[in-house]
Amino acid sequence: MFLVPVFFTWPLIIIGLFLVRYLLNFDFFGYWNWALVLGALIITFIILQKCFIWKNDALIITNQRVVENEQHGFFSKAVTELLYQDIVEITYSKHGMNASLYDYGDLKIMTAADNKIVLEEIADPDETVELINKIRQRPNV
């Protein structure tokens, strides 16, 4: 889901380069091969960056807390920790056809201090809410 815009964009960029090259008879000042290689390298870098971010995002549910590790870029990361005793209300929402088809959505957690924490694009949000509520109801928490 996270690569859909990239997969639709990179063929358009390559097709655009070919259209400019052959329909307008423009050979990029003799650097046609370099322009094509540069376009492919840029697209490869974007795909690798999105894969890195996707691989390092995690929602960890333990018996004492919920931890979200959110990778924003190569050098930027945010960690959110919530103890079960601080959670007052937890809801989820799915917006759009893709969210329903691929079963992802946003978790909204209300804490005791009236803070609203939104965890975006979580896989299986309904099962995640059920699991968190089961753990919250255990007497040893």
First to last CA, the chain: 35
- Domain residue spans of the chain: 4-55, 57-137
The pTM is what?
0.66
> Distance of alpha carbon 89 from its chain centroid, rounded?
24
- Domain 57-137 is found in CATH 3.40.1190.20: no
**pLDDT of 2 over the 60 cut:** no
pLDDT digits (tens, 9 = 90+) for 5-14: 656 676 777 7
Q: Are 90 and 108 in contact (CB under 8 A)?
A: yes
**pLDDT of 92 over the 90 cut:** yes
pLDDT digits (tens, 9 = 90+) for 35-89: 888 888 888 888 888 888 888 888 899 988 989 898 888 899 999 888 888 889 9
